[in-house]
Amino acid sequence: MELSFIVIDDSELDCFIARKIIEHTDANLHVKTFQNAQLALETIRENDAVDSDAITIILLDLQMPLMNGFEFVEEFEKLPPEVKKMYMVVVVSSTRNNKDIFRILTYRAVHSRLEKPLTREKLLSLIAEARSR
């Protein structure tokens, strides 16, 4: 199975870190980073080639300008089911606000939530979960 990543985070540093961790974990993993969730959404919409043997893990920040994590998930859920199936949305945030965390986990499209910073261990367990899906 082919595995790739989309990182959505308004912080340049956090995008960089996510990319480096992914690349250092496995050089064959493909990573795209977006500091603007709207752009990420457009990219996902445009890519309509359905490939049942590929999965993309979306690492999503919550508090972002223009389009925040909540708004992104709402739009994402409107995509056709065969497109949604190719993605696994994982929220990566620094918030300690339980209300926010609880709220984001109520969305069906959200697989799970990780606390920042992203580390190799957290990434490895994510990859294992994606592969077993």
* Closest CB to other proteins among residues 96, 108: 96
Rg (CA), the chain: 14
CB of 59 to other proteins, least distance (A): 12
- Residues forming contacts to other proteins in the complex (CB under 8 A) are 10-14, 16-17, 20-21, 24, 63-66, 94-97, 116-120
CA angle 57, 100, 3 (to 5 degrees): 5
CB of 107 to other proteins, least distance (A): 20
What does the alpha-carbon distance between residue 26 and residue 35 come to, in Å, rounded to a whole number? 23
What does the alpha-carbon distance between residue 101 and residue 17 come to, in Å, rounded to a whole number? 22
What does the alpha-carbon distance between residue 98 and residue 37 come to, in Å, rounded to a whole number? 23
* Closest CB to other proteins among residues 34, 87: 34
CB of 33 to other proteins, least distance (A): 12
* Closest CB to other proteins among residues 55, 60: 60
